[in-house]
Amino acid sequence: MRVLVAAAAVAVGVSAAACSTEGRPGRSPAPAATPPPVTATSGSAPLEAPGLPALAGQAATCAGPREKTFALDAREVTLDLGMGMRFNAWTYDGTLPGPTLEACEGDLVTIKVENHANTSHGLDSHALRIDMRRFGAVPPGGTRVIEKAVDTPGVYMYHCASGPVTDIHIKSGLYGAMIVYPRDATLKPARELVVVQSAIYGTPDKTGLIPGTDPARAQKNDPFVMMFNGRLEHAPLPVQPGDLVRAYVVNVGPGVAAIHVIGTILETVYDGASEIRNVQTYGIPAGSGAMVEFRIPEAGVYAFVDHDRLAYLPWGMVLAFDTTGDPHVQTH
């Protein structure tokens, strides 16, 4: 079992919890192949890595048309989570999380959801001030179109809306991040990424397949495993000393995400209209999001974690920011 080099001291300190599978099946993570290498880039740009949600950024988004249309397909697919596990998921566009939706303050946004699944699905975006009945589910083969101007910058969750069964639809994979950038305030140059924290509520069989969401576990908020960006394996992200990193974080749940970066301090957190500076850990409730900035203080490796979920370190719930370029630096 490999542990992130920079987080070794922390991992040892919580080894009793981090290496335990208490409350989950007595199954250790399968040995994982080394993730594909990431090509380092310099300057202000989104970070890129296998499995990292694509991001255009503020400049490109706000320079584009003021009418933006997003097409999402609800689909049932089997996804590779890493560590030898697969999950029969309900998704938007076949990915976990769904595509990141990016708009600029004042844009007229149209979201079109086509249901290619075997049960009814809809969509609720927390970025929209709109009659909630516009979010309702449509049957298989149906289409839901939602149109509204976005007027409040922030980092928002979107998810399936399906009446009394909305919770299990979300926990089966129908969720993603929506970012509304401020139009008149330019964000500082930074290396950017999207982080969506979520969980799996099913048990793998002998082949590593999780056949779907267990309703009993979902109702009790009892995940088998928790993860960032729908993966249990993450390639190290290349950065340089002095870089400002900006993470657009959405917490799907369960519980509050205690966002912390081992080796540095959160320089600024933007949560709604609030701006919080120089905090060690920041809590993001389930169903919410925030923009989190931190600086790489010197050469080395830095670990983005949920400090209340360190037990999932051996399951890859950590993102490593690496200045060394060492291809052997591992995130679990």
**Domains assigned to the chain:** 5-45+190-322 (2.60.40.420), 58-181 (2.60.40.420)
Interstrand relation of 67-82 and 108-115 (parallel, antiparallel or unpaired): parallel
Least-confidence region, from 12-26, 28-42, 48-62, 112-126: 12-26
Contact (CB, 8 A) for 153 and 181 = yes
Contacting residues for 8 by C-beta, under 8 A, at least 6 apart: none
Distances (CA, A) of 277 to 119, 270, 296: 45, 9, 16
C-alpha–C-alpha distance, residues 97 and 189, integer Å: 26
When pLDDT is averaged across residues 203-219 and rounded to a whole number, the result is: 97
pLDDT tens for 273-304 read: 999 999 999 999 999 999 999 999 999 999 99
* Rounded average pLDDT over 159-171: 97
Looking at residues 255-269, what average pLDDT do you find? 98
Please report the pLDDT score of residue 31 as a whole number: 54
Nearest one of 178, 315, 235 to 51, comparing CA atoms:
235
Q: What would the pLDDT profile of 310-327 be if each residue is shown by its tens digit?
A: 999 999 999 999 999 886
Q: Please compute the mean of the pLDDT values over residues 186-206 and round it to a whole number.
A: 97
Q: What is the mean pLDDT of the chain?
A: 89
**What whole-number percentage of the chain has pLDDT above 70?**
86
pLDDT digits (tens, 9 = 90+) for 43-100: 578 999 988 999 999 999 999 999 999 999 999 999 999 999 999 999 999 999 999 9
Is pLDDT of 10 > 80? no
Name the token pair of 101.
């939706």
Taking the C-alpha atoms of residue 137 and residue 145, their distance in angstroms, rounded to an integer, is 11
Instruction: Tell me the C-alpha distance between 202 and 259, whole Å.
Output: 25
SS3 274: strand
Whether the predicted pLDDT of 157 surpasses 80: yes
Residue 120 has phi, psi (to 5 degrees) of -75, 140
Among 4-18, 98-112, 134-148, 209-223, which stretch is predicted with the lowest mean pLDDT? 4-18
Q: How far apart are CA 44 and CA 33, in angstroms?
A: 30
Per-residue pLDDT, averaged over 237-245, amounts to: 97
Model confidence over 100-128: pLDDT tens digits?
A: 999 999 999 999 999 999 999 999 999 99
Distance CA 20, CA 78 (A): 27
Question: Is a pLDDT exceeding 70 seen at residue 204?
Answer: yes
Q: How confident is the model at residue 163 (pLDDT cuts 50, 70, 90)?
A: very high
Question: Under 8 Å CB-to-CB from 317, ≥6 apart: which residues?
Answer: 225, 226, 227, 228, 232, 305, 306, 309
Given phi > 0 = left and psi -120 to 50 = alpha, else beta, which region is 154? left
- pLDDT for 281 equals 98
pLDDT reading at 42 higher than 50 = no
Quick check: 5 pLDDT over 50?
A: no
User: Do residues 89 and 201 make contact, with C-beta atoms less than 8 angstroms apart?
Assistant: no
> Which of 78, 74, 86 is CA-nearest to residue 170?
74
